Structure 1
Amino acid sequence: MPTAAIENATIAYRDGGPRDGQPVLLIHGWPDDASTWDEIAPLLHGAGLRTIVPTLRGFGDTRLHGDAPPFGNSATLAIDMIGLMDAIGVERFMVAGHDWGSNIAEALAVGWPDRTERMAMLCSPPRLGGVPTPSFDQTQRQWYHWFMATKRGAQAVRDDRRGFARRHWDNWSPAGWYNEATFDRVARSWDNPDWVDVTLHSYRCRWEEAEPDPRSIWLEDKIRETQTLSLPTIYVQGADDGVNPPSASSTVPAKFAGPFAFVTVPGVGHFAQRENPREVARHLIHLFTGDIATLADSTDRSLPMTKATSLIVGVAAAGLIAATALGIAQAQGRSGQLTQVAQFDHQVTGVAVVADGRRFVNFPRWTDDAPISVAEVMKDGSLRPYPDAKWNSWRNARANELPVGHYFVCVQSIVPDGHGNLWVLDPGAPGNEKILEGAPKLVKVDLQTNQVSKVIAVPGDVALQGTYLNDIRFSPDGKIGYITDSGTRGAIIVVDLEYGKSWRALDGHPSTQIDKTVKVEIEGKPLVRPDGRQPMFSADGIAISADGRTLYWQALTGKTLYSIDTALLQQGRGEQDRAAGVKTVAQTHVADGLWMSKAGVLYLTSPTDYSIKRLAGSTVETVLTDKRLRWPDTFAEGPDGTMYVTASHIQDTQWFTPGAPPSVRTQLFSFKPAG
Structure 2
Amino acid sequence: MPIMTTDHLLIDYAEFGPPVGQAVLLLHGWPDDASTWDEVAPVLADAGFRVIVPTLRGFGNTRFVSAEEPRTGNSAVLALDAIALMDALGIDRFMVAGHDWGSNAAEALAVGWPERVERMAMLSTPPRLGGMPTPPFEQAQRQWYHWFMATARGAQAVRDDRKGFAHLHWTNWSPPGWFDEQTFARVARSFENPDWVDVTLHSYRARWDEAESDPRSRWLEENVKATQTLSLPMMYVQGDADGVNLPSAAAQVPGKFTGPFAMIHLSGVGHFPQRENSDAVVRHLLTLFTGDPATLSDHHDRSLFMKKATPLLAGIAAAGLIAVAAVGVAQAQGGPGRSSQLTQVAQFDHQATGVAVTEDGRRFVNFPRWTDDAPISVAEVSRDGSLTPYPDAKWNSWRNARANELPVGEYFVCVQSIVPDGHGNLWVLDPGAPGNEKILEGAPKLVRIDLASNRVTKVIAVPGDVALQGTYLNDIRFSPDGKTGYITDSGTRGAIIVVDLESGRGFRALDGHASTQIDKTVQVTLDGKPLVRPDGRQPAFAADGIAISNDGKTLYYQALTGKTLYSIDTAKLRPEVSEADRAAAVRTVTQTHVADGLWMSRAGVLYLTSPTDYSIKRLNGATVETVLTDRRLRWPDTFSEAKDGTMYVTASHIQDTNWFTPGAPPSIRTQLFSFPPVK
In structure 2, the residue matched to 1:26 is 98
C-alpha distance 450-197 of structure 1, shift in aligned 2 (>3 A): closer
Q: Aligned equivalents of 1:185 and 1:52: distance in 2? A: 13
Secondary structure of the 1:173 match is helix
* 1:83-122 equivalence runs, <5 A: 113-114=184-185, 116=187
| Cα separation, 1, equivalents of 2:216 and 2:359 | 65
Call closer, same or farther: CA 1:70–1:503 in 2, change over 3 Å. Answer: same
SS at match of 1:431: helix
Q: CA deviation at 1:388?
A: 0.9
Shift of 1:621: 0.2
Q: What SS is found at the alignment partner of 1:340?
A: strand
Distance 2:553 2:114 in 1: 55
Whole-angstrom distance in 1 between the partners of 2:531 and 2:115: 24
Q: Is the Cα–Cα contact under 8 Å of residues 35 and 186 in structure 1 kept in the other structure?
A: no
Distance 1:59 1:133 in 2: 14
C-alpha deviation, 1:198, in angstroms: 4.3
Closer, same or farther in 2 for the Cα pair 1:196/1:540, shift >3 Å?
Answer: closer
Residues 390 and 396 in structure 2, CA contact (< 8 A), matched pair in contact too: yes
State whether structure 2 residue 620 is matched by structure 1 residue 616: yes
1:548 and 1:566 in contact (8 A); partners too: yes
Residue 526 in structure 1 maps to residue 530 in structure 2: yes
Residues 17-72 of structure 1 show CA distances to partners (whole Å, capped at 9, x for unaligned) of 325879886136699696545699999999xxx99642635889xxxxxx996568
Match of 2:123 in 1: 54
**Equivalent in 491, 495, 503 of residue 491 of structure 1:** 495
Say yes or no: does 1:17 pair with 2:44: yes
**For residue 360 of structure 1, what is the aligned residue in structure 2?**
364
Instruction: Write the mapping of 1:260-409 to structure 2, written as runs, cut at 5 A.
Output: 335-409=339-413
Tell me, yes or no, if the aligned pair for 1:59 and 1:189 is still in contact at 8 Å. Answer: no
CA contact (8 A) 1:493 1:504 kept: yes
The verdict on how the C-alpha distance between 1:141 and 1:53 changes in structure 2, with shifts beyond 3 A counting, is: closer
Distance, in Å, in 1 between the alignment partners of 2:569 and 2:115 is: 54
What number of residue pairs does the alignment pair up?
470
Map of 1:149 onto structure 2: none
CA distance in 2, matches of 1:494, 1:402: 28
Q: RMSD of the TM alignment (CA)?
A: 4.9
1:569 aligns with 2:573: yes
The alpha-carbon distance between structure 1 residues 171 and 580, as it changes in their structure 2 partners (threshold 3 A), is closer
* Equivalent in 487, 506, 509 of residue 505 of structure 1: 509
Residues 403 and 139 (structure 1), Cα distance of their counterparts in 2 relative to 1, 3 Å cut: closer
Quick one: distance in 2 between partners of 1:43 and 1:461? Answer: 62
Partners of 1:619 and 1:440 in 2: how far apart? Answer: 36
Is the radius of gyration larger for structure 1 or structure 2? 1
How far apart are the structure 2 equivalents of 1:371 and 1:539?
A: 28
- Cα–Cα, structure 1 residues 489 and 70, in superposed 2: closer, same or farther, change >3 Å? same
CA gap 1:457/1:139 in 2 versus in 1, 3 angstroms = closer
Q: What's the offset of the Cα at 1:185?
A: 3.5
Give the residue type in structure 2 aligned to 1:400.
N
Give yes or no for contact 2:108–2:220 (8 Å, CA) kept in 1: no
Tell me how far 1:448 sits from its aligned partner: 1.0
Offset at 1:491? 0.2
Work out the CA distance in 2 between the residues paired with 1:38 and 1:132: 19
CA distance in 1, matches of 2:572, 2:605: 24
The change in CA–CA distance for 1:187 and 1:661 in structure 2 (over 3 A counts) is closer
Matches within 5 A, 1:425-574: 425-574=429-578
Structure 2 SS opposite 1:17: helix
Q: Give the alignment's TM-score, normalised by structure 1.
A: 0.61
- 1:667 alignment partner in structure 2: 671
Alignment check: 8 A CA contact 1:641 1:673 kept? yes
TM-score of the superposition, structure 2-length normalised?
A: 0.60
Report the 3-state secondary structure (helix = DSSP H, G, I; strand = E; otherwise coil) of the residue aligned with 1:579. Answer: helix
Q: Is the 8 A contact 1:332 1:341 kept in 2?
A: no
| SS across alignment from 1:18 | helix
- The amino acid of 2:494's aligned partner reads G
Q: Which of 411, 418, 426 is the aligned partner of 2:415?
A: 411
- Give aligned-pair identity as a percent: 63
Partner Cα separation in structure 2 for residue 581 and residue 31 of structure 1 = 65
Structure 1 unmatched ranges of 5 or more:
1-13, 61-66, 78-102, 143-167, 202-218, 220-330
CA distance in 1 between counterparts of 2:612 and 2:186 reads 29
Query: Letter of the aligned partner of 1:626 in structure 2?
Result: D
2:103·2:123 contact (CA, 8 Å) conserved in 1? no
Counterpart of 1:592? Answer: 596
| 1:72-221 paired onto structure 2 within 5 Å | 73-74=142-143, 113-114=184-185, 116=187, 139=210, 172-173=218-219, 185=231, 198=249
1:81-129 CA-partner distances (Å, limit 9, x unpaired): xxxxxxxxxxxxxxxxxxxxxx9999569987357478799xx985899
Q: 1:577-588 maps to which residues of 2 (within 5 A)? A: 577-588=581-592
Q: Are residues 1:603 and 2:607 paired? A: yes
Aligned equivalents of 1:518, 1:637: Cα separation in 2: 30
Distance 1:26 1:363 in 2: 32
* Unaligned ranges ≥5, structure 2: 1-39, 55-96, 130-135, 147-164, 174-178, 239-244, 253-270, 272-332
Equivalent of 1:634 in 625, 631, 638: 638
* AA aligned opposite 2:620: A
Offset from partner CA, 1:204-245 (integer Å, 9 cap, x none): xxxxxxxxxxxxxxx9xxxxxxxxxxxxxxxxxxxxxxxxxx
